[in-house]
Chains A and B, each alone.
Chain A
Amino acid sequence: MENKFKKITSLWIITVLILFVVAIILGLLMRFNQGGNIKLDPVTFYTDMTIHGLTMIGIWFVAGMAAVNYIMERYVRTSYKANLIAYIMTVVGVLMLWGAGFIGKFHAGWTFLYPLPFKIMWEQWATPLFLYALLVLGVGWTIWTVSLMISLLKKYTLSQVFAWQHFKRDAKPEVETPPFVLISMISLVGVLSCLITAAALDFLLLTEYYSNGGFINDALLMKNLTYFFGHTLANEMLYLGLAVIYELFSEVSGRPKWKTSWYVAYAWNLTLFFVLFAFLHHMYMDFVQPETLQIIGQLASYLASIPSTGVTIFSILVAVYGTKINWNLANLMFFIGTAGWVSGGIGAVIDATISNNFLLHNTLWVPAHFHTYNALGNVLFSLGFFYWFSFQLKDGIIKDKHSMLKILLIVIGGIGFLAAFYFAGADSVARRYANYPEEMASGKFWATFGGTFATIYLLGIILFIGGILKRCFGFVFSRV
């Protein structure tokens, strides 16, 4: 593999990990403020919340893309230029976002739900800066996504790239589609859909901003677009991580390479279709949305998640059950990450069931489930990849003296941090409160509890990433 791809991937990893630590610290500040342990003024709290959420979503998306791009080079030639453009535009976009937040005090929340960006309680320039930041990020990521699609479609036909030739149970196709290629393509299609949605959303927001009241958006349309973009992207970035697992888990475990079977092909094609409708479960409390769409939202939430989860769990269990596995930090991260992803998914499906949503909507159950499949799911997928990547840069030997300590800190810290969200959510503590009123007094206890365990998680992460950063920095600055 060309060194320039190793360098750009190292650069992505360094950037993601540095931003990750900063974003965790913002999260800690928020939890300790909610617990009454420190005092932030509400504007600072909501600015932190906005930046924490957007940064996390952004970095774990690009982490998945960088990993997929790096591994894709095994199958097809990808564009280094597109990768570099995406990197530059991501850095510029993040700086603009942070400028809008930290300097301009933009704090409309990480979902920037309409019409909040126009209820200006911050510097006047922060709203357009924020909207242009989204545009810069969106353009960079679209270029990258389309270029990866082009790379795949140069080699595979449409039916091959989606593994349709594998649909027949006893099929022996001439061209086999590797699971990595299938899942990557399915994720890229979803990613492109939500990036185009984001472009439409940004365009409508900017048009209203500059129309001086001449053009007003429909709030229902804006909410639909926001969640089409946000929810779908959050799901697709998980799938990017899963594509990496399908490629690397067997390899780093010393097991035979996974192949695409008929059920893998079916499951991921179902996901391709249904994930595009699952966002409708965010609209249950929008009474003007027709009931049919609410029901479609619930069904799509089940149909998008259950098949792909089922086959992934099955594949991993088959790979590890009763066989000798070369366990190391990479495949352990993949294995624990899959458990976290499934646990968070169960929490999500519970919340996506209409009758439950009446109780759980806008409680801390919501951040509970999405932090589960991110902090103990997707993050671990990417950390597993980073670990594998950084070690194979050096000498290919994966040995670590403090493996157990690192894993224990991340897992125990993560579980405690998430449990605080779940218990508080089940106790009807509302989300997005800077300070809890008397009626939600238990929220304070759980915030301190969660913050304490999140500190342990952070410690584990710092220990984990230390070596990775060292090796990646070394590679970026090497003359190789």
Chain B
Amino acid sequence: MFRLCLFTSIVMLTILPAQSLFSQSLGDFREEINIYNTLYDAPLHLVGGADVSLHELAKDKPIILALVFSRCSGVCNPLVLELKENLRMLNLQQELPYSVLVLSFDPWDKIEDMQYMAERFNLTNEPDWYFGVTDSINQVINSVGFKPIWDEKKKQFDHDALLAGVSTKGKMTKKLLGLRNSKDLRMLVQSINKVFIPSYRLPTNTSIFTCFNYDPETGKIVPGTGLLIIIMPVLITWLTVIGIRMAVRKKTT
């Protein structure tokens, strides 16, 4: 029994400090960065000529914010296209109102570039879609926690596909990284409309003892190492009880 306890302690003491040597990248926590913070109230220049601040635009209807740039040869076009298709399919506008703001994070983009982009997606006449630019893009992306990196070789920004939900009070209630399905998009729209959505912190490589792990390939939840920690006390207890009895019997015979 003593040996077992010693072995378990050694294993635990070896594994845990080793964790601090692992990468401390924020990994999947990026969706949590700046959540519930108020976004920077940037003055926006919208296609169609309107000048309005971000918070004013969100005041009547909460916003789905998509950060893109017009010369993007990567994920921007699929992001907007998929957003358009998913929103059309979900048809939530009656039940959960929202507007979509497609904002350029490229300081070189002009309002004409965004106008062209809106036309390309055939969204110029859609009443709930806004395309625009701002002079305060750095403050906006900082408040969102979005970090595009300019690649001089490719003449492109290296960046995430990002959608952010902005409530009528200008607070960011949810972020979606990557191209996501309609279910996730529905949750984002619900969150900006103050509908409760279950949320939880995603595991990272700094957290090894998770109870359950989601396998994206099979869509199944599989037990994790954390469950062992929950079961372990019962096992140790019974081993102790049996061990004591055996030791006592040995002593008396």
Which of B201, B230, B236, B241 sits near A158, CB closer than 8 Å? Answer: B241
Stretch of A96-104, A189-197, A373-381, A451-459 contacting B (4+ beta carbons < 8 Å): A189-197
Interfacial chain B residues near A214, Cβ < 8 Å: 19-22, 24, 206
A193 in contact with B203 given A203-B12, A220-B226 (CB within 8 Å):
no
- Determine whether A212 belongs to the interface, using a CB cutoff of 8 Å to chain B: yes
Cβ of B219 to closest chain A Cβ, rounded Å: 14
A290, B220: Cα distance in complex, Å? 11
- Interface code A221-237, partner B: CB below 8 Å = 1, 0 otherwise? 10011001000000000
Interfacial chain B residues near A215, Cβ < 8 Å: 16, 19-20, 206-207
- Determine whether B209 belongs to the interface, using a CB cutoff of 8 Å to chain A: yes
A289, B211: Cα distance in complex, Å? 9
- Determine whether B73 belongs to the interface, using a CB cutoff of 8 Å to chain A: no
Interfacial chain B residues near A194, Cβ < 8 Å: 233
- Determine whether B212 belongs to the interface, using a CB cutoff of 8 Å to chain A: yes
Stretch of B74-82, B96-104, B142-150, B242-250 contacting A (4+ beta carbons < 8 Å): B242-250
Closest to A157 in B: B245
A149 in contact with B20 given A196-B232, A221-B229 (CB within 8 Å):
no
B240 pairs with A192, CB closer than 8 A: yes
- Determine whether A437 belongs to the interface, using a CB cutoff of 8 Å to chain B: no
Which of B230, B233, B234, B248 sits near A221, CB closer than 8 Å? Answer: B230
A153 pairs with B211, CB closer than 8 A: no
B interface size (C-beta, 8 A): 37
Interfacial chain B residues near A270, Cβ < 8 Å: none
A224, B12: Cα distance in complex, Å? 19
- Determine whether A463 belongs to the interface, using a CB cutoff of 8 Å to chain B: no
Interfacial chain A residues near B127, Cβ < 8 Å: none
B200 pairs with A220, CB closer than 8 A: yes
- Determine whether A120 belongs to the interface, using a CB cutoff of 8 Å to chain B: no
- Interface code A183-205, partner B: CB below 8 Å = 1, 0 otherwise? 00000010011101100100110
A197 pairs with B233, CB closer than 8 A: yes
B221 pairs with A290, CB closer than 8 A: yes
- Determine whether A288 belongs to the interface, using a CB cutoff of 8 Å to chain B: yes
Interfacial chain B residues near A287, Cβ < 8 Å: 198, 200
Interfacial chain A residues near B200, Cβ < 8 Å: 219-220, 287-288
Interfacial chain B residues near A200, Cβ < 8 Å: 229, 232-233
A-side binding surface: helix, strand, loop or mixed? helix
Closest to A280 in B: B230
A189 in contact with B237 given A203-B12, A212-B20, A221-B226 (CB within 8 Å):
yes
- Determine whether A211 belongs to the interface, using a CB cutoff of 8 Å to chain B: yes
Cβ of A79 to closest chain B Cβ, rounded Å: 13
- Determine whether B93 belongs to the interface, using a CB cutoff of 8 Å to chain A: no
A189 in contact with B241 given A197-B233, A211-B20, A212-B20 (CB within 8 Å):
yes
- Determine whether A108 belongs to the interface, using a CB cutoff of 8 Å to chain B: no
- Determine whether A174 belongs to the interface, using a CB cutoff of 8 Å to chain B: no
Interfacial chain B residues near A207, Cβ < 8 Å: 16
- Interface code B190-227, partner A: CB below 8 Å = 1, 0 otherwise? 00000000101101101101111000000001001010
Interfacial chain B residues near A203, Cβ < 8 Å: 12
Closest to A200 in B: B229
- Determine whether A322 belongs to the interface, using a CB cutoff of 8 Å to chain B: no
B230 pairs with A219, CB closer than 8 A: no
Interfacial chain A residues near B232, Cβ < 8 Å: 196, 200
- Determine whether A116 belongs to the interface, using a CB cutoff of 8 Å to chain B: no
A219 pairs with B24, CB closer than 8 A: no
A203, B12: Cα distance in complex, Å? 10
A192 in contact with B237 given A149-B244, A211-B19, A218-B211 (CB within 8 Å):
yes
Closest to B251 in A: A154
- Determine whether A217 belongs to the interface, using a CB cutoff of 8 Å to chain B: yes
- Determine whether A276 belongs to the interface, using a CB cutoff of 8 Å to chain B: yes
A153 pairs with B198, CB closer than 8 A: no
Name the residue among A193, A197, A218 with the largest chain B CB count within 10 angstroms: A218
A196 pairs with B237, CB closer than 8 A: yes
A189, B252: Cα distance in complex, Å? 23
Interfacial chain B residues near A346, Cβ < 8 Å: none
A204, B24: Cα distance in complex, Å? 18
A221 in contact with B209 given A149-B244, A153-B241, A200-B229 (CB within 8 Å):
yes
- Determine whether A256 belongs to the interface, using a CB cutoff of 8 Å to chain B: no
Interfacial chain A residues near B203, Cβ < 8 Å: 218
Cβ of A165 to closest chain B Cβ, rounded Å: 15
Interfacial chain A residues near B244, Cβ < 8 Å: 146, 149-150, 153
Cβ of A148 to closest chain B Cβ, rounded Å: 11
A462, B203: Cα distance in complex, Å? 51
A158 pairs with B229, CB closer than 8 A: no
A207, B241: Cα distance in complex, Å? 29
Closest to B243 in A: A153
A153 in contact with B248 given A203-B12, A225-B229 (CB within 8 Å):
yes
30 A-B pairs within 8 Å (CB atoms) are namely A146-B240, A149-B244, A150-B244, A150-B248, A153-B241, A153-B244, A153-B248, A157-B245, A189-B237, A192-B240, A193-B237, A200-B232, A212-B20, A214-B22, A214-B24, A214-B206, A215-B20, A218-B209, A218-B224, A220-B226, A221-B209, A221-B229, A224-B226, A224-B230, A225-B229, A225-B230, A288-B200, A288-B212, A289-B211, A289-B212
Given pairs A150-B244, A196-B233, 9 additional interface contacts (CB within 8 A): A153-B241, A158-B241, A200-B229, A216-B204, A216-B206, A218-B209, A218-B226, A219-B200, A220-B211
Which 6 pairs, one residue from A and one from B, show the smallest C-beta to C-beta distance?
A214-B20, A196-B233, A221-B226, A287-B198, A215-B19, A197-B233
